[in-house]
Amino acid sequence: MDSGVRVRLAPSPTGSPHVGMIRTALYNWLFARGRGGTFIVRIEDTDQARLVEGSVEEMLGSLRWLGIDWDEGPDIGGPNAPYYQSERLEGYRRVAEALVERGAAYRCDCAPERLAEVRKASGGYDRHCRERGLMEGDSPSVVRFAMPLDGRTVLDDLIRGTVAFENGLVDDFVALKSDGFPTYHLANVVDDRAMGISHVFRGEEWLPSSPRHLQIYDALGWEPPRFAHLPQILAQDRSKLSKRHGATSVREYREMGYLPEAMVNFLALLGWSLDGKTEVMSADELKRVFTLERVSRSGAMFDAKKLEWMNGHYIRQASHERLADALLEYWEAFPQGGVSPLPEREALLRVAPLVRERMKTLQDAAPLLGFFFQDEVEYDTAELAQKGMDAAGTREALIRALDALEGLEAFDGDSIEGALRALAGELGIKAGQLFGSIRVAATGLRVAPPLFGTLEALGRERSLSAIQKAADRLAG
């Protein structure tokens, strides 16, 4: 079973996990799971200033919610623990020293002000300290990697093919900061090596720094993993997706009532396709068919409308049990938009199917089902009279409906429909007019679940009493 595939997600805990990060996680996971590989989560918390409390938990929580599981990680440990870079400092320091000893890196004590000036003048670092031979402790210093001055670094990207970079154009970047923490470049390489990572799938924004990583591997005599740079996820205006474009974190989508299976399917399709025709695929299917060859090279715009459609699709095809459980779980997690108190699962099981084809998100359920769980429905008396009918006529119709429904043998949808249709004929009004009045009486809504199923679910007693009340209101 061991294919030698070892991939990893290396998030930086600086806030809510962005959908782009989650898609990267998904592709890594699908790749590993489809090949009997190992999926690792490693926290890259090397920037002390940008740490955001709780982001690791949110990241892990989002992955779990989506059904993405990992074999080694900060919460479960593993053979390569620890999985927080802040706890692996000694390793980076050792490698940095080794690099200095080999002449592949050097200490630099240039002041920030000087750095800024040089950058302004020439656009980068001028390698001022490269030949100074500074030792650790001479003064506060960083370790910079000494890029080769000539030649090119060639990356064989699994998605983009061959990409070459002129070494002389790449800065002598900082590998170890003065606070003893490594930068991404160093830590990433050291850990990917230590953890035996075979493939690195990461966002396209890393492409320009890949020659740095390749050079570090080379200087250390290490074999680099294979790289694949994933296309970016874009906002509606084709710029990088960010907060000002609305929801960007998985948590927000969960809160808006999206199903994890829809989210996974949708995200998988953002930058990857099976054949251009097959769109709906479960996570298990995706694991089987996902390949890097079919990942696209261009950025993909996040189409919220399509996500919405897909979510509706998953809601419609969910089993009654799955839907009821999803709603219960959702309402429990986000009570504001739910039904409270939480209904019994049994009761929900009976009524949720009535509205599932009119839902796009779980949020849509409560407004449509709320009346089932209330003693009293609320509405404007004026809503009762349908188009072309007056109050007296409506009242008459409701009272007649009461009779018709009372005498029903079985109180089920078909019987109710039959009785009501016959009644409308007798009264000489359109079926829609009668149904509309009863709908408002029973549900308090103009847009509601299908009437006959609704009355059946409500039961004879509640249905009749609601209609009676409506008739009474019309009497006034």
Q: By CB under 7 A, what part of segment 368-397 binds RNA? A: none
Closest CA to 152 of 165, 135, 134: 165
Number of residues that bind RNA (CB under 7 A): 88
Q: Which is nearer to RNA, 15 or 34 (CB)?
A: 15
**Which residues in the 126-145 window bind RNA by CB under 7 A?**
140, 142
Q: Is 350 in the site for RNA (CB under 7 A)?
A: no
**Which residues in the 36-55 window bind RNA by CB under 7 A?**
44, 46-47, 50
Which region, judged by CB under 7 A, interacts with RNA, from 126-134, 215-223, 312-320, 467-475? 312-320
Q: Which is nearer to RNA, 2 or 319 (CB)?
A: 319
Which region, judged by CB under 7 A, interacts with RNA, from 189-197, 335-343, 400-408, 428-436? 428-436
Q: Is 298 in the site for RNA (CB under 7 A)?
A: yes
Distinct helix (H) and strand (E) counts, the chain: 18, 11
**Separation CA 438–CA 463 (nearest Å):** 9
| Least Å from the CB of residue 1 to RNA | 28
Q: Which amino acid would we find at residue 44?
A: E
Using DSSP bridges, classify how beta strands 142-145 and 174-176 pair: parallel, antiparallel or unpaired: antiparallel
Contacts with 142 (C-beta within 8 Å, 6 or more apart), sequence order: 107, 108, 109, 174, 175, 176, 177, 178
- Options 8, 12, 73, 463; binder of RNA; rule CB under 7 A: 12
| Least Å from the CB of residue 45 to RNA | 8
Letters for 187-226 (x = contact with RNA by CB under 7 A, - = none) are -----------------xxxxxx-----------------
Catalytically annotated residue among 120, 177, 240, 243: 243
Q: Is 308 in the site for RNA (CB under 7 A)?
A: yes
Q: Is 102 in the site for RNA (CB under 7 A)?
A: no
| Least Å from the CB of residue 476 to RNA | 26
DSSP 177-232: -TTSPBPHHHHHHHHHHHTT--EEEEEGGGGGGHHHHHHHHHHHTPPP-EEEEEPP
Instruction: Give bridge partners of residue 202 from the DSSP assignment.
Output: 229
Q: Is 273 in the site for RNA (CB under 7 A)?
A: yes
| Least Å from the CB of residue 69 to RNA | 22
Q: Which is nearer to RNA, 32 or 355 (CB)?
A: 355
**Separation CA 418–CA 337 (nearest Å):** 36
**Separation CA 27–CA 201 (nearest Å):** 8
| Least Å from the CB of residue 103 to RNA | 20
SS3 156: strand
**Separation CA 208–CA 189 (nearest Å):** 15
Contacts with 233 (C-beta within 8 Å, 6 or more apart), sequence order: 19, 20, 23, 241, 270, 271, 299, 300, 301, 302
- Options 451, 458, 464, 474; binder of RNA; rule CB under 7 A: 451
**Separation CA 177–CA 329 (nearest Å):** 45
How does 115-128 read in b/e, with b if 16+ C-beta sit within 10 Å? beebeeeeeebbbe
Q: Which is nearer to RNA, 345 or 421 (CB)?
A: 421
Which region, judged by CB under 7 A, interacts with RNA, from 27-35, 112-120, 340-348, 399-407? 112-120
Q: Which is nearer to RNA, 64 or 297 (CB)?
A: 297
Q: Is 339 in the site for RNA (CB under 7 A)?
A: no
Q: Is 277 a catalytic residue?
A: no
SS3 258: coil
| Least Å from the CB of residue 186 to RNA | 9
Q: Is 269 in the site for RNA (CB under 7 A)?
A: yes
| Least Å from the CB of residue 234 to RNA | 6
- Options 18, 107, 193, 439; binder of RNA; rule CB under 7 A: 439
- Options 32, 60, 68, 174; binder of RNA; rule CB under 7 A: 174
Q: Is 14 in the site for RNA (CB under 7 A)?
A: yes
**Separation CA 466–CA 458 (nearest Å):** 10
Contact between 423 and 435 (Cβ < 8 Å): no
- Options 239, 282, 291, 340; binder of RNA; rule CB under 7 A: 239
Q: Which amino acid would we find at residue 320?
A: H
The neighbour count for residue 455, using CB atoms within 10 Å, is 27
Q: Which is nearer to RNA, 303 or 342 (CB)?
A: 303
Annotated catalytic residues are: 243
